[in-house]
């Protein structure tokens, strides 16, 4: 997925946060059913498998938050102080799969 990080921006702002956190740590720049790329400033997640929440900009298939277990695969820092990280999706709750598929199709069409 790292090779797709050079595409133009998508007009969907999906923020990513740790469960219970008040503020997101980044936003999705690319997404497939198997993984996601996240961009942010400050401190990214550590390389350990983690639980993250995707804050959807609108309700999709009855949900506005998708909870995922992810495993970090790569992390790059830019000269401007931002970072980009790639995560493999380890698991997604059954009830959120339709929303995740719908959202990932939005990124694939771009």
- Number of domains forming the structure of the chain: 1
Q: How far apart are CA 19 and CA 96, in angstroms?
A: 16
Q: Pick from 33, 28, 37: which is nearest to 1 by CA?
A: 37
What is the span of the domain harbouring residue 10? 2-108
Tell me how far CA of residue 21 lies from CA of 15, 16, 66, 76, 92, in angstroms: 12, 10, 14, 23, 19
Q: Give the pLDDT of residue 1.
A: 45
CATH of the domain at 101: 2.40.10.220
Could you read off the pLDDT tens digit of each residue along the chain, which spans 110 residues?
A: 454 444 444 567 899 999 988 899 999 999 998 999 999 998 887 767 699 999 998 898 899 999 999 999 999 999 998 999 999 999 999 999 999 998 888 776 65
Q: Please, is 49 exposed, middle or buried when counting C-beta atoms within 10 Å of its C-beta (0-12, 13-18, 19+)?
A: middle
């Amino acid at each position: 997925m790292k090779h797709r990080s050079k595409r133009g921006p998508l007009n969907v702002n999906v923020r990513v946060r740790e469960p219970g956190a008040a503020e997101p740590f980044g936003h999705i720049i690319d997404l497939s059913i198997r993984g996601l790329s996240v961009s942010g400033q400050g401190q990214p997640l550590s390389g350990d498998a983690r639980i993250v929440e995707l804050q959807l900009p609108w309700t999709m298939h009855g949900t506005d938050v998708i909870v995922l277990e992810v495993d970090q695969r790569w992390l790059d820092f830019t000269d401007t102080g931002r970072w980009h990280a790639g995560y493999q999706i380890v698991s997604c709750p059954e009830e959120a799969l339709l929303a995740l598929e719908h959202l990932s199709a939005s990124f694939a069409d771009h």
